Amino acid sequence: MDIPGVTYNPDNQVKVVDANYDNAKMSQEDFLKVLLADLQWQDPLEAKDISEFIDNTVKLKELESYNTFQQSVEQLLAANQANALLTASSLIGKIVKYEGNQTYVQNGIGYADIKLASSADTVKISILDSAGNVVETKTLYNLQGGVDYPISIENSELPDGYYTVSVEASSNGNPVDVTVVSQALITGVEKDSTGNIVLNTSSFTIENSNLIGIGG
């Protein structure tokens, strides 16, 4: 008796699908063809247990579904990264606040913000140019920990560019950790070698995770 989709040759070999057929892509129709052919041509005295065949086929279909899902996730991540890059590009030409000690000075005016890990009796702040020369200094006393203290730079003689904000804080002669928030002018955005988005300035790059705010 002929079975649609199944051929029989003189060598007593049954061919349902091509030898190189990818079982992971087996359709329901092909699955039934293979199952019917296996039942049709088995030795009735040594009937095969088809449960293993069904189980293996189900596993292959599950693997196919997983691969399809994984591809969809990868496509979604790629689209999300592209959208994030486009969103970050809106920062080009804008002043941003970020965690770091390189602050942008324009028309003699700059900004920084410091926060002490704990109280300090003496805090010395130095502003250095790109050559390492000190252009401004100021000393503050008895600052509390966990409080934001704004530091303004107002010097019309300073050329536009980036200046280093160096802070030395101490309490009873012991050093106190300081976090500096500066401002930067964004000139471009790009992905780094790990796929993370970084913000470019004319002098350095800022990781997106270090971004604090927009506007100086």
pLDDT in tens, 94-147: 999 999 999 999 999 999 999 999 999 999 999 999 999 999 999 999 999 999
* Cα torsion through 105, 110, 111, 112, rounded to 10: 60
Each residue's pLDDT tens digit, 162-199 = 999 999 999 999 999 999 999 999 999 888 888 788 89
- Which fold is adopted by the domain 92-214? Immunoglobulin-like (2.60.40)
The pTM is what?
A: 0.61
Name the token pair of 80.
């999300």
In the chain, what are the domain boundaries?
7-88, 92-214
Assess whether pLDDT exceeds 60 at residue 23: no
Secondary structure of residue 198 in the 3-state scheme: strand
The residues with which 120 forms a beta bridge, in sequence order, are 143
Q: What is the rounded distance in angstroms from the CA atom of residue 209 to the CA atom of residue 214?
A: 13
